[in-house]
Structure 1
């Protein structure tokens, strides 16, 4: 059982509608030039919600949540933060992300209704389980960072095929599979990507395009 002090940053723990909404938000932020944002929390158990609610009330620290009934526990909400060179919760950046979210029909913790209610929570985003992607949008292969060491990446298939020369990757080759697993495992250890990516590869649920996207991310981070 996960400890109440442990933060879950895996968007795979969200319901399908929230997963899609989250990916679309990061994709549109990328297109707007906002690439230094990352996930800080997705699913949150009721026990963890109670633990956080107690902070600043019956437990030392600053207040971090205004409710015991958060959509995090319903797997429909996620929180973000901002990477360098901005501060962790840079208001200007969060306001830009919030504006994009509202255009997509995503509820933002900094929108007027929340401000009016005195419950401002700019890093927070959520949707209803009935949320649908707005007309005119198409979700591509977007890599959603879960730490400040990464940046948002959008993989364009045609561009990828032209610019990235991958080895003769044969998914059926045990040697290649082992080599790929070791490569991704090291990236997990380095904190570049999430452990869930390695599990997807091992479970056979990772597509070639997604593997190429991870390859790009890892190489870019290691070359900096």
Structure 2
């Protein structure tokens, strides 16, 4: 990967950091904070060195003050805020930071020096605080075009096969898969929806809701 390329994939983080990140986004969703998205996860040491040089031996403003970062250890992630708010809206980031504290996730906004509000990280020994759990599938946006989502499976709905989307026509299934796959490629929805469709975890109501959402966003 080029040093100029930003990685936003949380699957590139260590499992402990993936869980912490999803929990943070889940709790933000529940608090009504749904306009945040990932801007960077894993960062190679070469990229860290490259960023450190900016504003020092390379033109530009200083963007990092260290050559050692938990990004390179796959234990940190950065976020931003979607329009119409400013990219690093302080009020929103402060709210996210307060939630991170409750989850024992280190927030760069709490650092006494070199405050970094968009930055969050954990240690390899981080564990989920008592009283918290991942309540469903957490959709963590990697673009400002998407919102944070929490998809909670209804156990009773899972038991009722009639509510799961199970088309009798193979052609209908293929067309639905193509439709969802294209929406993922266009950045309209997250890949998790496509995975759930392929793994037979898609309910009829959810598929209909996705169809309406996709059409509305394409017509904007």
* TM-score past 0.5 threshold: yes
Report the CA distance between 1:208 and its aligned residue: 1.5
1:59 aligns with 2:58: yes
Select which of 202, 217, 220 maps to 2:213. 220
For structure 1, the 5+ residue unaligned runs are: none
The alpha-carbon deviation at position 143 of structure 1 amounts to 0.7
- Aligned pairs for 1:1-224 within 5 A: 2-111=1-110, 114=111, 116=112, 118-140=113-135, 141-158=137-154, 161=157, 167-168=165-166, 175=171, 178-193=174-189, 208=201, 216=209, 219-220=212-213, 222-224=215-217
Preserved contact between residue 42 and residue 77 of structure 1 (Cα < 8 Å) = yes
Query: How many angstroms does 1:183 deviate by?
Result: 2.3
Question: Residue 184 of structure 1: CA displacement?
Answer: 3.1
How many residue pairs end up in the alignment?
Answer: 212
Task: Tell which deviates more after alignment, 60-69 or 94-103.
Answer: 60-69
TM-score by length of 2: 0.83
Provide the C-alpha distance between the structure 2 equivalents of 1:123 and 1:76, rounded to a whole number of angstroms: 14
- Let me know the Cα RMSD of the aligned residues: 3.0
* Aligned-partner Cα distance in 2 for 1:169–1:150: 28
Gaps of 5+ in 2: none
Range with greater deviation from structure 2 (184-193 or 59-68): 184-193
Q: Check conservation: 1:155, 1:213, Cα contact below 8 A.
A: no
Give, in angstroms, the shift of residue 168 of structure 1: 1.4
CA contact (8 A) 2:165 2:204 kept: no
Superposed CA deviations along residues 89-115 of structure 1, whole A, max 9, x for unmatched, are 00010000001001100000001xx1x
Query: 1:79, 1:125 within 8 Å by CA — same for their partners in 2?
Result: yes
Q: Runs of at least 4 residues of structure 1 off by over 6 A? A: 210-215
